[in-house]
Structure 1
Amino acid sequence: MLTPTAYRRIFRASAWYDLLIVWPYATPFGLALAWGWLDRLHVGLGQPSLPELTVYGVLFANFFGTVVLIWSAVRLVHDDPRLGRWDALGRGLFSLWMAVALANGASPLLWLFLAVEVAFGVAQAMPVREPRPA
């Protein structure tokens, strides 16, 4: 069982992580830079080059990036631990879709993102001890 303080730290760390990882996906220019970097890493690890992004891939990545940026900002600004429970649900769904992609041949780099999603999802789903009355 987590203390309210520990839960708040996890909750806020997950929001900051999302901001740091996802911001490039919110614009076509940032996505191009991130995709190029991921491609070089992928090839450097002995994997084939990542596929070229189509206009639809860019569009949906930008949608995803924008929504996650806004959701992260909402969690940081409102600082409401109840939002951590909703975030845990979202991370569970994201993890499921990543597992489906991995099962269908997606890049093994996805395992790194999946591990973080599962860790934050489990941590934010854990019970929190009620604060003691003053």
Structure 2
Amino acid sequence: MSPAAPAYLRLVRTSGWYDLVVTAGFATPWTYALVHRLLSAAGDAAGLGTMPALTPMQTLYANLMGSVVVVWSALRVLRPLPQHGLLDGVARALFSLWMAYTLVHGGPAVLWPFLVVETAFGVAQLLPWAWAARATAGRKSVRHP
């Protein structure tokens, strides 16, 4: 699939919708407190551990992240472009790296499902760019007599 293909743009829009649904609750202190309780309860029920105790700084960082991701999500939902998929793929690689880092350092296992989805969307959005770059490099390396 080419990054310019309609299917790729649908993927970019779909990842925007996913992010909007998953992170909207992080955007305000009141909604984050609810999301925090829900994630802790779900993690406890599934045997994945609970979230750390809620602190003002944790809430601030969650709200900052939630606000930025909501705006970024809205852009991809309303106007998906191939470059948005590339940048989102890079952001997902970073998010995945930091989630994995947190898990290795004792973070709650409730992060695993999010890590799987982040990684899947990241790979799906970056692979077409890698394939396109490889195809372009292959065409440039062919020499005509």
TM-score (ref. length: structure 2): 0.83
Pair 1:80-2:66 in alignment: no
User: For residue 109 of structure 1, what is the amino acid of its counterpart?
Assistant: V
* C-alpha distance in structure 1 between counterparts of 2:113 and 2:49, whole Å: 18
Equivalent position of 1:56 in the other structure:
57
Per the TM alignment, residue 45 of structure 1 is displaced from its structure 2 partner at its CA by 2.2
* Pairwise CA RMSD: 1.8
Pair 1:23-2:24 in alignment: yes
Instruction: Decide which structure has greater helix share.
Output: 2
Deviates more, 1:61-70 or 1:120-129: 120-129
Higher relative contact order (CA 8 A, sep 6+): 1
What do the CA deviations read for 1:5-47 (whole angstroms, capped 9, x no partner)? 2211211110000000000000011101111111111221235
* C-alpha distance in structure 2 between counterparts of 1:49 and 1:8, whole Å: 36
Structure 1 unpaired stretches of 5+: none
* C-alpha distance in structure 2 between counterparts of 1:48 and 1:21, whole Å: 19
Pair 1:10-2:15 in alignment: no
Equivalent position of 2:99 in the other structure:
98
Q: Name which one, 1 or 2, has greater alpha-carbon Rg.
A: 2
TM-score (ref. length: structure 1): 0.89
